[in-house]
Structure 1
Amino acid sequence: MTTLLNRSLDIMCWTAAAPLVRHLRARQLQKQTQEQRDIHRISRLLNRILVAHSDMLS
């Protein structure tokens, strides 16, 4: 998110829109976390493939 958007959301945390902001940020955090987990899993899988089949890459 952009800095302006983050600051706007920070300000909105002090209003009646706070539950919406919390939900938005929790959803964004969950998405980022899932992406990082996927990247880690794919990286481990690719490393195992490279180790198992390194002779085919030469």
Structure 2
Amino acid sequence: MILKSALDLRKSINRDRQRLYRLEKNMGISNPNVIQLSQELDKKIFNMQQLMEEIRRTL
């Protein structure tokens, strides 16, 4: 279950990274939408780090 969550989160992070790159390229780094997406991506990356630590503890 944890591994599936990590894989799903990884896919979401990769999609958001691509979206952020395109958005920033078109709107600029200080655009509120870019900032919001960047913050959401930061949260997902933090959650991934926590999941990975949890997986390591179970091995």
TM-score normalized by the length of structure 2: 0.52
Give ranges in structure 1 of 5+ residues lacking alignment.
48-58
What fraction of aligned residue pairs are identical, expressed as a percent?
24
Instruction: Give the corresponding residue for 1:22.
Output: 35
Matched residue SS, 1:43? helix
Given the two structures, how large is their TM-score scaled by the length of structure 1? 0.52
Question: How many residue pairs align between the two structures?
Answer: 43
The residue aligned with 1:42 is 55
More relative contact order, 1 or 2 (CA 8 Å, 6+ apart):
2
Q: Give the partner amino acid of 2:24.
A: L
- Report the aligned-residue RMSD: 2.5
Cα distance in 1, alignment partners of residues 22 and 43 from structure 2: 20
Q: Which has the higher helix share?
A: 2
Question: What is the CA-CA distance between 1:39 and the residue it aligns to?
Answer: 0.9
Which structure is larger by alpha-carbon Rg, 1 or 2?
Answer: 1
Q: Which runs of 5+ in 2 are unaligned?
A: 1-16
1:8 and 1:20 map into 2 onto residues whose CA distance is: 8
Judge conservation of contact 2:28–2:34 (CA < 8 Å) in 1: yes
Q: Which ranges of 4 or more aligned residues in structure 1 deviate by more than 2 Å?
A: none
